[in-house]
Structure 1
Amino acid sequence: MCGRYASIKAPADLADEFRAVDATDGAATADYNVAPTKQIVTVVERHPRDAEGTPDPDRTERTLRMVRWGLVPSWSKDPKSGARMINARSESAATKPAFRRALNSRRCLIPADGWFEWQRGPEHKQPYYTHYADGRSLAMAGLWEFWKPKDDPDEEYPNGLVTASVLTTEAVGPLAQIHDRMPLVLPSDAWDAWLDPDTGSDAESVASLIAPPSLELIGQLQLRPVSPLVNSVRNNGAQLLEELPPEEVREPVQLDLLAGPNPS
């Protein structure tokens, strides 16, 4: 699963990296301990609409937007349900009522500097941090939805609520030593097809995009044990990403089994 991650790059840098326009309106700030129900940065691509709300089928616009982490289906009566839907299993998203519409036409990328996962040991859970060795952003596959109350206007969300989930997949290679699930990380050559709002008309195309990451991609990642301070959402800051000294690692794994260094 993916329950915490770090998102610390400035929106301007993310916009450049993902070839998008920054539409976060200054709401995005560095966060070393992103937790469910927080506002997060996403990359979305939509057909622009004219003054009457009609989409232009010949053009798309890619933007950075803020949404709440925890998908609320459009048919939900209560937006609080999103707290239980921070992740969507890639293997079953196409058949789940909460996710299948979003998988067809509301896919997004969720930029991250890295994600946290906890290895369960006999007595303790040891957090690990996984990131690209060269420092570029991870592109986690995501789904987004728009919710608004069906009857009376909602006092808390009078304009509706936009939410998102992170797609997860089976952990690949050495990452399975930590947990059996991981976020679905997409390589850059898959971004355009994933974000294309029209790709959903071809079920086979979508299925090919949600395959587990390749061993080549996994080989570009680094994994390190970090402080259990990350366990609390109240803790934040660069210290959460620092490697834990070997003598303080509660449930060590054989990190030498990880794939090699980032290829040139």
Structure 2
Amino acid sequence: MCGRFVIAKTTDLITEYFEVDEAPEQDFRSYNIAPTIEVPIIVEREVDGLPSREIHAARWGLIPSWAKSPGASPLINARIESVLEKPSFKEAALAKRCAIPADGYFEWQSTVPNSKVPYYIFPSDGMLAFAGIYWWWRDPSKLASDPARWVLTCSLLTKDSAPELAGIHDRNPVLLSEENLSAWLAPDYPTTPEVLAALSEESALVAAQLEFHPVSSAVGSVYNNSEELIARI
């Protein structure tokens, strides 16, 4: 489970770090990104026969093609074990792969009875890349001539927690290394169970290098958004 994360870097710095070729002039910075907020997703497509990495703004909370409305419970996370089977995700999971950049994420401790302590989990250097999937949803309430009828949406994948993070929560986001980032974004193959198994295994190695510390419960309110949210308490 991951319900809050942080983007502290500018779009220009994200573009440089992930070697992105094209990005919008949009500031995604926030210390308290919550479901339904627009987040940057990194995708790869072929342009003039060459691969091109692009950043697009997407609503965090995938909306499947058959949905008549966004729904009351945003589909922000997709379990890697069942993403190719669940009706809400399988169409996107087969080919609509993306990466979601982040400086870190928050998780509320679930392994200690009655604990509600939030933790900030982050790399000692650089940025994280969550493995994600995306989908263009057509809003049936809008006219065919309305460009806003198409809504780009996304979910991030989760897996059983790496041993180093298991004391906080039993799930963690699927994390992409530099090597498997390129493989995950490549648009020229379908997602298979074997691909997901390898991705999960590699994610555990990335997770083992992360740092974490407890933070203020103020992160629980979407109205709070400052650097103080990631400070150790």
* TM-score of the aligned structures, taking structure 1 as reference length: 0.81
**Distance of 2:134 and 2:228 partners within structure 1:** 31
**Distance of 2:70 and 2:145 partners within structure 1:** 12
Preserved contact between residue 42 and residue 99 of structure 2 (Cα < 8 Å) = yes
**Distance of 2:129 and 2:202 partners within structure 1:** 12
Q: Which residue of 1 aligns with 2:9?
A: 9
Preserved contact between residue 79 and residue 159 of structure 2 (Cα < 8 Å) = yes
- Unaligned residue ranges in structure 2 (runs of 5+): none
Assess, with a 3 A threshold, how the Cα gap between structure 1 residues 209 and 62 changes in structure 2: closer, same or farther.
Answer: farther
How far off its partner does 1:60 sit? 2.8
How far off its partner does 1:79 sit? 2.3
Matched, 1:31 2:21: no
Q: Which residue of 2 aligns with 1:231?
A: 220
SS of the residue corresponding to residue 108 of structure 1 reads strand
Preserved contact between residue 139 and residue 149 of structure 2 (Cα < 8 Å) = no
Q: Which residue of 2 aligns with 1:131?
A: 122
Q: RMSD value over aligned CA atoms?
A: 2.2
Equivalent positions of 1:82-101 (< 5 A) are 83-101=73-91
Preserved contact between residue 41 and residue 100 of structure 2 (Cα < 8 Å) = yes
**Distance of 2:205 and 2:89 partners within structure 1:** 29
Of 69, 85, 101, which residue of structure 2 is paired with 1:78? Answer: 69
What code does the residue aligned with 1:172 have?
Answer: A
**Distance of 1:234 and 1:66 partners within structure 2:** 21
Of 51, 54, 58, which residue of structure 2 is paired with 1:63? Answer: 54
Assess, with a 3 A threshold, how the Cα gap between structure 1 residues 216 and 73 changes in structure 2: closer, same or farther.
Answer: closer
What code does the residue aligned with 1:240 have?
Answer: L
Count of aligned pairs between the two proteins:
232
**Distance of 1:156 and 1:223 partners within structure 2:** 45
Runs of 4+ in 1 over 3 A off after TM superposition: 120-124, 149-152, 154-157, 212-216
How far off its partner does 1:21 sit? 2.5
Preserved contact between residue 90 and residue 210 of structure 1 (Cα < 8 Å) = no
Of 192, 210, 231, which residue of structure 2 is paired with 1:203? Answer: 192
- Unaligned residue ranges in structure 1 (runs of 5+): 49-55, 245-264
**Distance of 2:225 and 2:22 partners within structure 1:** 24
Deviations 1:113-160 (A, max 9, x none): 0010001344440000111112x1101000000011357528997341
SS of the residue corresponding to residue 184 of structure 2 reads helix
Preserved contact between residue 11 and residue 22 of structure 1 (Cα < 8 Å) = no
Equivalent positions of 1:1-264 (< 5 A) are 1-25=1-25, 27-48=26-47, 58-80=49-71, 83-120=73-110, 121-134=112-125, 136-150=126-140, 153=143, 158-200=148-190, 203=192, 206-213=195-202, 216-244=205-233
How far off its partner does 1:174 sit? 2.3
SS of the residue corresponding to residue 195 of structure 2 reads helix
